[in-house]
Structure 1
């Protein structure tokens, strides 16, 4: 059973802890131990990526261009507030254990990330953007030693991501990816690389079929590196995404969290770069937010 539960690490190699992590403890092993406690409870939903709500975030340069184009109103840039709420809901569940003898475990996961103009009463506080990300992945247990780190897991998967909109606001892409996770004590490192599945070119700019964002890899890249470090009850994570080509845009995201009540943690997030959301894939954002998370997952 413990071997099976190790696969509850996400395909993107997101690692986390819900309780105190000692210096000699492994973040990966702690995650496995935490999920063992709920393994036999039929109605427990297992987290995939971190589940959080940031009631207040501030973006110094909101992306207004799509809305100006849509409304054809020169004053549209005044509609989007700098302050908004941001939240993420992410879960997964197993489809098939031990596909290849005693290894290889198939999962389905879904992540919803939303940006809510909750303080913008002038336009009735709409959801500015909501991204949907269903995925299927296969994860394998491993115990290789590489440069002093344990290569705990590797996996492959397929993921669709879109904002569920139409017309000029539509954004989407499909990818195949590979992942690996390494850990040693309070440090964990996740590597993820992907290949975008090609789409047909649009026949006209207004055509409902075809690629809505053919240059998305220039901004969202084709790989990301995510690191986590547990210091007593503090959890620090850093994500860097890039493509190492021209044009080279990329992004970084830094988070810090600290337990405040049970599995509820104070959660802060700083993002700088391109691709924070689908509608903003080619827009440079600098956002800082504060809120709470349930547990803490890289």
Structure 2
């Protein structure tokens, strides 16, 4: 126990230690500009943390731009502040005024520009027409090849393009607990939007295509003491679904999210005899009828409406019902007796503060389960404040599970109550 548990803590605790950060926000000019030497751009240095931070400013800045004439790079210099180090107090903003050193060629229209080192967001602004330059006054031609039509002002990076499509789905966490021996439960999850989001009032077919997602969730229970430290069981859940959020009132306090799709769940095993475990271990004694094989899989169609209310200070309460129809569940045809057909999720708290969630599924006759999760920003934990001087990322987590089927392998088995403590990355 001691060595395994200590090594496990070293895996996930230091990973949450982050530095106080400075967020860069480039602001476009208020109106059309000549975009020549001396044109000013505003850069905000935002410090959203509770710790002071100092940013080292380069003596010369570089930016990439795109216009109807082509792409290129320009240089800028900071006119204010003049020093190369800029201190930003906690929860505050400093302003840096940048001046162009090079002209942006073009004949009017819009230009997209972003700083490249350090990198910032892209901005777009209008450029005033530049008087044509005669050939005898121009040492080199300023013509640039035209860009690809329809994409010529897009300076989106690969990371930003990915963020447009990939987002969180189920919570991501790593939690450790004890049930006759040390074990861990961890989960990671994401969803992928196939098409770009678009404007409202499109045709229903086009809107349905924009609301189409793929998702993947993996949940694993890890035995930390048995020889070779095996993963006891994992659930792999690829999902395809439609997701649509509706705002129900002008104040935007009530939102209804509608989700419908198909999900496959499997523990990734292809059959074979059920493994034999020692009497004392992660497994608890049970009188449940064991299956002749350790393979588990099922397919479901589901509908999951979610209602959310948001009040003052971003306090929210939300409720979700997940109704499923089983098909192709040959390995576990009686799973409906333990999971039922509807599970309920209640969640409340603050977007940036403490949250509590309760998930209940199964039948009221006792063949079901309850899972509780309490999370709060990890840096608000008193012990961490004493030990760690910098910002601690993620959320501290307390998880409690009671009932049948914590893993898909044991869907018909009720074990001892499980309490775990961990770090949650997304909620």
After the TM superposition, which residues 5-20 of structure 1 pair with which residues of structure 2 at under 5 Å, given as runs? none
The match for 2:411 is 281
2:182 alignment partner, one of 83, 87, 91: 83
Shift of 1:224: 0.8
Deviations 1:104-140 (A, max 9, x none): 60000001111111233xx211111111110001012
Q: Secondary structure at the match of 1:128?
A: strand
1:119 alignment partner, one of 202, 222, 225: 225
Distance 1:85 1:141 in 2: 34
Q: Compare relative contact order (CA 8 Å, sep 6+) and give the higher one, 1 or 2.
A: 1
> Is the 8 Å Cα contact of residues 181 and 225 (structure 2) preserved in structure 1?
no
The match for 2:339 is 220
Over the residues paired in the alignment, what is the CA RMSD in angstroms? 2.5
1:161 alignment partner, one of 260, 265, 281: 265
Deviations 1:154-198 (A, max 9, x none): 121100001011221101110000011111121111111000014
Distance 1:126 1:172 in 2: 20
1:150 aligns with 2:269: no
Larger radius of gyration, structure 1 or 2?
A: 2
Shift of 1:101: 4.2
Distance 1:108 1:270 in 2: 29
> Is the 8 Å Cα contact of residues 151 and 180 (structure 1) preserved in structure 2?
no
Deviations 1:183-214 (A, max 9, x none): 11211111110000145xxxxxxxxxxx1111
The match for 2:361 is 241
Q: Secondary structure at the match of 1:49?
A: coil
The match for 2:327 is 197
After the TM superposition, which residues 60-139 of structure 1 pair with which residues of structure 2 at under 5 Å, given as runs? 82-96=181-195, 97=197, 100-102=205-207, 105-120=211-226, 123-139=227-243
Distance 1:155 1:128 in 2: 31
Q: Once structures 1 and 2 are overlaid, which stretch shifts more, 247-256 or 109-118?
A: 247-256
Shift of 1:102: 4.0
Shift of 1:58: 2.2
Shift of 1:141: 2.3
> Is the 8 Å Cα contact of residues 253 and 269 (structure 1) preserved in structure 2?
yes
Q: Secondary structure at the match of 2:161?
A: coil
Distance 1:182 1:92 in 2: 20
Distance 2:169 2:224 in 1: 26
Distance 1:277 1:46 in 2: 25
Q: How many pairs are equivalent?
A: 220
Distance 1:170 1:191 in 2: 28
Distance 2:294 2:344 in 1: 29
> Is the 8 Å Cα contact of residues 255 and 309 (structure 2) preserved in structure 1?
no
> Is the 8 Å Cα contact of residues 218 and 248 (structure 1) preserved in structure 2?
no
Shift of 1:144: 4.2
Shift of 1:151: 4.6
Shift of 1:48: 1.0
The match for 2:395 is 265
Distance 1:86 1:250 in 2: 19
The match for 1:229 is 348
2:173 alignment partner, one of 52, 72, 82: 52
Distance 1:255 1:184 in 2: 20
Query: Structure 1 stretches of 5 or more lacking a match?
Result: 1-18, 20-37, 60-80, 200-210
